[in-house]
Amino acid sequence: MERINITKNTIGQMRIVEVILASFVIVFALSFTNIFAITPTSPKYEVTELQKLGYNTLHDLDEQGLLARFVYNHEWENLTSALRVLLPLDVYFNVTIYDLQGTKVNNVPIFYGDREAFATSKNVASINYGLVGYPTRLSATYTPRILIIQLVRG
């Protein structure tokens, strides 16, 4: 008689186990989908914004004929100053210039901001900008330079 009662009782216990398992499945599923949710602090938006800002700034300098002058005449201090006045105050930058062989051209850092911000921030934008040469009145040589500018918000 007792054995029959135990068997009947396990049906109810199994319902509880089923409910708990089902709830775990739901909670895990929701948690899993939330990982893919794009939140407002997502690096995707911030990086895009910084990329636009960086590209526009370099393009503006290039249009005025100043970017090529700074790069080919090695006016690193002027390039740093120009970027500092054109970029918003809270945007830090780090510029590296390479030739076609991948050799770094700028021997002094073209940098503004906190190095820690570049190391710790998840939202670092990187923009590649190409210059084909620096035409002067008498000559125009094909000596491409590749500018890589990294931007981060401080």
Partner 1 sequence: MVNAVYDHMIAILIIGVIFVSAVVILPTMSFTNIQAVNQQQLRNTALNVFNAMLLDTGEPIDWGSQRPFYMNDPRVNRFGLASAQDTTFYVLDPDKVQRLVVGNPLNYCDYNRVRDLLGLKDYGFRLRIIPPFNVTFKSISVASNVLNYEADVHYLDGTPIPNAEIYATAVYTKTKGNNLIFNVSQSGPFKSNSLGKCIGTVPLEVTDPDYYTVTLKVTVADVATLVVTSGQEFNNTIARINLVYDTIVLTSWKDPPDYNVPPNDAIWILDVVAFGSKGKLWHLLDKDKKGSSDFNSGSGNFERWNQTFSGLHGFQPVILIFNFWAVDQVTGHGRSQVLIVTAYPNLLGTNIFEYGGDPKSSDSVKIQRSVIISGMTYTAELWLWKEST
We find the least distance from the C-beta atom of residue 142 to partner 1, in angstroms, to be 25
Pairing of strands 125-131, 145-153: antiparallel
| Nearer to partner 1 (CB atom), residue 81 or residue 128 | 81
| Nearer to partner 1 (CB atom), residue 81 or residue 141 | 81
We find the least distance from the C-beta atom of residue 126 to partner 1, in angstroms, to be 19
Give the full edge-to-edge strand order of the sheet including 125-131. Answer: 110-112, 91-99, 145-153, 125-131
- Which residues of this protein are in contact with partner 1, per CB under 8 A? 5, 8-9, 11-13, 15-16, 19-20, 23, 26, 30, 34, 37-40, 42, 45, 49, 53, 56-57, 60-61, 64, 66, 70, 77-79, 81-82, 84-86, 88-89
| Nearer to partner 1 (CB atom), residue 13 or residue 103 | 13
Angstrom distances, CA of residue 25 to CA of 12, 29, 34, 35, 66: 20, 6, 14, 16, 60
| Nearer to partner 1 (CB atom), residue 32 or residue 142 | 32
CA dihedral 99, 129, 51, 43 (to 10 degrees): -30
